[in-house]
Structure 1
């Protein structure tokens, strides 16, 4: 006899709530509560920097870009430090399996490399991290796909 499973539909509207839901649903939230807390911390740090980036791009690009780029190393250093504390930077941002925070951090670092080429030059672990994650087959395929390549980074065309 076959059993029919009922799956309840959930409507989620906030991007970070969606990320966390997908992380829990697909095993992208760390292996235990400690790692989940670290994944949350990293993702919140990514979101903090992303908010600064969005503010720059949409409200003060012409007057604020130089100052933003000058301050960027201070914002990137905590991520480099976290990587150094996890298997010497040879793994993911938390633990030894990819998390939703890795995907979010990778996207943020890639757009910053467009904004400020060379911004990772003084961060060897972050540089290697971007290269390592970008080389993962599905990520590599996506990054080279027309859907990604032909899509503007920002709605206003600034980068």
Structure 2
């Protein structure tokens, strides 16, 4: 296909949200075709669009791409957000994979029932503030640049910005002990493409509301 990438997923964050973030940061406009029912999902499977019978799926450059990491790697490479050499790419991958571990915990937290969320939240915040955020505070300090790798925007920076905002939704003062991450967030918020994505009405998705969880679960089960 030609033209804008087309994103196929439910109208939630889930595994598509990092893809939305990266396309938006790259300044790429995209379309979304939301799965609203289980039948919508089954139709995608039946027509052979889903290599492993899973979404996210992104139509881009004549391909129907699946697997979140593969999609993100392709977008990062295509839009020069993947470092200048193998060493930078390795650092970017390492940082992104670390953040993906934390983001996965937060993603599943959205779908926990209310009585499970208290203990789950405490565990997530402990990991965020004692294992993950200190790493990136240290990286910024040691690197001494505005961005995590090299001295230009990469997918690692976009992922870190997304992660910071996810953690702050759970704990608004999460950056209190991380001054470099505070400054990083401010810089990233002023990059025009990201600033646009953070505005109301953008494709950025909100937290799933508890009342909507059954209908979302029905699509995928």
Shorter chain as normaliser: what TM range?
0.7 to 0.9
Per the alignment, do residues 128 and 67 of structure 1 end up closer, same or farther by CA in structure 2, a change over 3 Å counting? same
- Determine whether 1:117 maps to 2:203: no
CA distance in 2, matches of 1:105, 1:145: 21
In structure 1, the partner of 2:197 is: 142
Structure number with higher relative contact order (C-alpha < 8 Å, ≥ 6 residues apart)? 2
Which has the larger helix fraction?
1
In structure 1, the partner of 2:117 is: 61
The correspondence for 1:79, drawn from 136, 146, 152, is 136
Which has the larger strand fraction?
2
The correspondence for 2:74, drawn from 21, 46, 49, is 21
Q: How many residues align?
A: 148
Q: Give secondary structure in 2 for the equivalent of 1:146.
A: coil
Structure 1, gaps ≥5 residues long: 1-6
CA contact (8 A) 2:83 2:89 kept: yes
Deviation, structure 1 residue 34? 0.6
CA contact (8 A) 2:128 2:167 kept: no
Structure 2, gaps ≥5 residues long: 1-59, 212-221
CA contact (8 A) 2:139 2:148 kept: yes
CA distance in 1, matches of 2:162, 2:129: 17
CA distance in 2, matches of 1:109, 1:156: 23
Deviation, structure 1 residue 8? 6.3
CA distance in 2, matches of 1:147, 1:86: 32
Note the aligned Cα RMSD (angstroms): 2.1
Q: Give secondary structure in 1 for the equivalent of 2:183.
A: helix
Q: TM-score, normalised by structure 1?
A: 0.82
